Structure 1
Amino acid sequence: MQIVFMNRLSRISGVDQEMYAQLWIGEEEGIWSLGWRDFSGGENYIENLWYEGGSWNEMLCVYRHELAVKMGDGYRPLIDGIFHEEDSLTGRNQEQLKLQYYSEYYGNEAIYEELCAWRRGKASSERKAPYILASNRLLRLLSTFLPHTPEELMQIPGVGEGKVAQFGADWLAITTAVAREHSFPLSWVYEVIEEESFVSWLYKQKEVKYKKQLERLRLRRILLQGIENGLGLEQLKVNSGVNRRELIEAVEELEREGYSVEKLIHVELSNMPQNEQEAIWNAYVELGDLFLKPVLHKVYGDDFSAAEGLDIYYERLRLIRIRFRREQTHKVGMATSF
C-alpha cells in the first residue's frame, strides 16, 4: 500500500504531557484506506482503521467526520488545512459563531422555553412550519442576550428589518420581562470567551455537519443499489434504517441530481389502478405540482379519509409527481432545442 497523505496531531493531557497521533490515507489498486495511529503509549502505537473501500467521496466524508471528533477532543494538526476544504470563515462569521457559542452555554432556559411556546402557537395559527418562523439557534440568542429595543434586536444574527416588523413586538414582550446583567452592543462577548474552548466547539459543529454528510452519502449508496436490484420502499427502509418519508425525500433528491429512480416508482405503483394514476396526473396538469393537498382533494374528494391513513396516498402522489416533473423538464428541453 502506498501512503498518499499523512499528518501528525498532538494535544496536551494532564500536566505538560503531550500526546500525539498520526492520521494517514493509503491507496492500493483502487482501494482507499484511512487510519489513525495513537502513540499515547510511547513509540508503540495502536492503529484504528477508519475506512477501507473504493469510494474516494465516502472515504473523504469519513475522514472529515472522524477528524472533527478528534479535534473536538483537543488534538491539533502539525499541518494546517487538514480538512481539505475551502476555509470561508470570515471575521464577521467568526463573530456570529462566538455569539452562538456563548448562547449555548449561558442562555436563560425559562425565556428560551417561553419563546419556543410562542413559536408553536404562531406556527399553528399561521399554518407554517415552526422553523420557518425562527430557528432554535435564533431563539437561543434571544434568550441569552435579552434585547430590549428594536435596535438591539437588529444586532442579533439572523434578525433583520423584516423579522423585527413581523415578530419584534412579540419577542420584546418576552425578553424585556426579565432583568439582564449585560449590555449592547455585544462586543464584550468576544473578550470573555476562552479561545481554545471556542475552537473545540467549532470542531464539534464540524463533527455534526460531516456526520450528516456521511449519513446522506451512505443512504444514497443504499438507495441506488436497492433501486437497481428492484427493491421497494419497505425493504429499503429495512436496509437503511430510515423511515419511508425520508426515503421518498431522498429519492426525489436523486431524481433532481439526474439519477434514474424509475425502477422504484414502477415497483411501488405496480398495484395502483391505471385510471387512478391518470387522474393524479391530470390533477397536476390542472393545479400544478407545487402542493400535494389540492391534488389529493381533486382526485379523492375533500372529505376523503382512509383506514390505513393518508401516508400511502401522499407517497403515491410524490412518486407520480417525479414522473410528471421529469416529463415537463423533457418537454422544456425539447422546446428550447428548436
Structure 2
Amino acid sequence: MQIVFMNRLVKDAGSEGEKLAQVWIGEEEGTWHLGWRDLEMTGEAMDTAWYEGGSWNEMLYIYRHGLAVKLGEGFRPLIDGTFHEEEELKGRSHAVQKLYCYSELHNNEELYAELTAWRRRKAASERKAPYFIASNRVLRLISAFVPHSIEELLQLPGVGESKASEYGADLIEIAGTVQRSHEFPLDWVNDALDDQSYLSWTYKQKEHKYKQDLDKYRTRRTMLKGIYEGMNLQQLEQECGLPRRDLVEALEQLEKEGYDTERLIQSELEEVPNEEQERVWAALEELGDALLKPVLLQVYGEDAASGSGMEQRYERIRLIRIRFRRQPGSRRSVG
C-alpha cells in the first residue's frame, strides 16, 4: 500500500507525559485506506481503521469527522495547517463564538429547562415549530447571561428587534427572577474563557458539523441508489433510517442539484387523483411556491392544517412543487 498522506499528533497527558499518534491515508489497487495509529512509548503501535473503500469523498468526510473528534480529545498536530482543511465558522465574529462557547459551558440548567418549557407552550399556542420561537442556542445564551432588560437581551447574538418585540417581555419575566453574578455588557467573556477550553469547544463544533456532513452524504448516496432501483419512500425510510419528512427535504435538495428524482415522485403520486394534483398546481401558480401553508389551505380547506392527514397533504404539495419548479417561468414567491 502506498501512503499518500500522514501527519503526527501529540497530546499532553499530564503526569503520563505526551501521547503520540498518526493519522494517515493510503491507496492500494484503487482502494482508499484511512486510519489512526496510537504510538506507545515502548515503540509499539495500535492501529484503528477508519475507512476502506473506493470513495474518496466518503473517506474525506470520515477523515474530517474522525480528526475533529481526536482534536476535541486534546490531540494537536505537530505540523499545523497541513492536516486539516480549516473551516472556521463563517460569518460570525470571534467574540460571538466566545459568547456561544461560554453559554454552553456555564449555562443555568434549571433556567434553561424553564425557558424550553415556555417555548413549547408558545409554539403550541401559535402553531409554530419551536425553533421559530427561539433556537436552543439563544435559550442557552439567556440561561447563561440572564438578561434583566430588553436592552440586555438585544446584546445576545441571535436576538433581533423583531424577536425582542414579540417575545422579549416573556423572556425577561422568566430570566428576571434569577440572580446573576455578572453584568452587561459582555466584554468580560473574552478574558473569562481560557484558550484550551475555547479551542476544545471549537473542535467539538467541527466534530458536530462534520458528522452532519457525513450523514447527509450517506443519505444522499443511499437515496440516489434507491431512486435508481425504484424504491419508494417507505423503503427509503428503512434504508436511510430517516422519517419521510426528512427524506422529502433531501429529495428537494437532490432536485436542486440537478439529479433526476421523477421516478420516485411518480411512484408516490400514482394514487393521488389527477384532479387533486391539478388543484395543487393551480394554487402554486396563483400563490407562488415559497410558502406551503397558503397552498394547503386553498386546496384542502381551513381544517387541513391540523389532524391526522396534515403531514400527508404537506408531503403531496411538496412533491408536486418539485415538478412545478422544473417548469420555465414558474412563479416563485420571495418569502
Same fold (TM over 0.5): yes
3-state SS of paired residue (1:3):
strand
Find the residue that maps to 1:15 and give its secondary structure.
helix
Task: Give matches, 1:112-261, under 5 Å.
Answer: 112-261=112-261
CA contact 2:289–2:331 (8 Å) conserved in 1? no
Give the match for residue 266 of structure 2.
266
**Kindly tell me: are residues 122 and 188 of structure 1, through their superposed partners in 2, closer, same or farther at Cα, counting changes over 3 Å?**
same
Q: Distance in 2 between matches of 1:250 and 1:197?
A: 35
Gaps of 5+ in 2: none
How much has 1:150 moved relative to structure 2?
3.4
Q: Measure the CA separation in 2 of the matches of 1:284 and 1:232.
A: 25
* Distance verdict in 2 for CA 1:184–1:37, change over 3 Å: same
In structure 2, how many angstroms separate the alpha carbons of the residues matched to 1:89 and 1:254? 24
Corresponding residue number in structure 1 for 2:43:
43
Aligned-residue offset at 1:69: 0.8
User: Are the structure 2 counterparts of residues 205 and 304 from structure 1 closer, same or farther at C-alpha, using a change threshold of 3 Å?
Assistant: closer
- Using the alignment, how far apart are the partners of 1:331 and 1:106 within structure 2? 48
Q: How does 1:55-134 map to 2 (within 5 A)?
A: 55-81=55-81, 82-87=83-88, 93-134=93-134
| Deviation (angstroms), 1:314 | 2.8
> Could you tell me whether the CA contact under 8 Å between 2:284 and 2:331 is conserved in 1?
no
Closer/same/farther in 2, CA of residues 48 and 163 from structure 1, 3 Å limit: same
Q: Percent identity?
A: 55
Q: 5+ residue gaps in structure 1? A: 333-338
> Does structure 1 retain, via aligned residues, the 8 Å contact 2:71–2:203?
yes
Displacement of 1:7 after TM fit? 0.5
* Deviation of the 1:246 alpha carbon: 0.8
Aligned pair in 2 of structure 1 residues 267, 241: CA closer, same or farther (>3 Å)? same
Note the alpha carbon deviations across 1:136-195, whole angstroms, 9 max, x for none.
111111121122333333332223344333333332222222222212232333223232
The one-character-per-residue Cα deviations of 1:210-238 (angstroms, maximum 9, x if unpaired) are 10100000000000011011111111111
Higher alpha-carbon deviation: 303-312 or 314-323:
303-312
Q: Using structure 2 for the length normalisation, give the TM-score.
A: 0.88
* CA shift digits 1:72-118 (9 cap, x unpaired): 1111111212321344679x733222222222232222322332233
- Deviating more after overlay: 284-293 vs 208-217: 284-293
Separation of aligned partners in 2, 1:224 and 1:203 = 31
The 1:13/1:316 distance shift into structure 2, 3 A limit, reads: same
Distance 1:178 1:276, change over 3 A: closer
SS in 2 for 1:185: coil
Moved more, 287-296 or 213-222: 287-296
Q: Within 1, Cα distance between the matches of 2:117 and 2:331?
A: 47
The CA deviation at 1:297 is 4.4
Partner of 1:283: 283
1:41 deviates by 5.9
Structure 1, 49-58 or 201-210: larger mean CA deviation: 49-58
User: What RMSD, in angstroms, separates the aligned Cα atoms of the two structures?
Assistant: 2.7
Give distance in 2, aligned partners of 1:252 and 1:10.
Answer: 43
Change (3 A) 1:61 1:304: closer
Matched residues in 2 for 1:131 and 1:277: separation?
A: 31
**Residue 285 (structure 1) shift:** 2.4
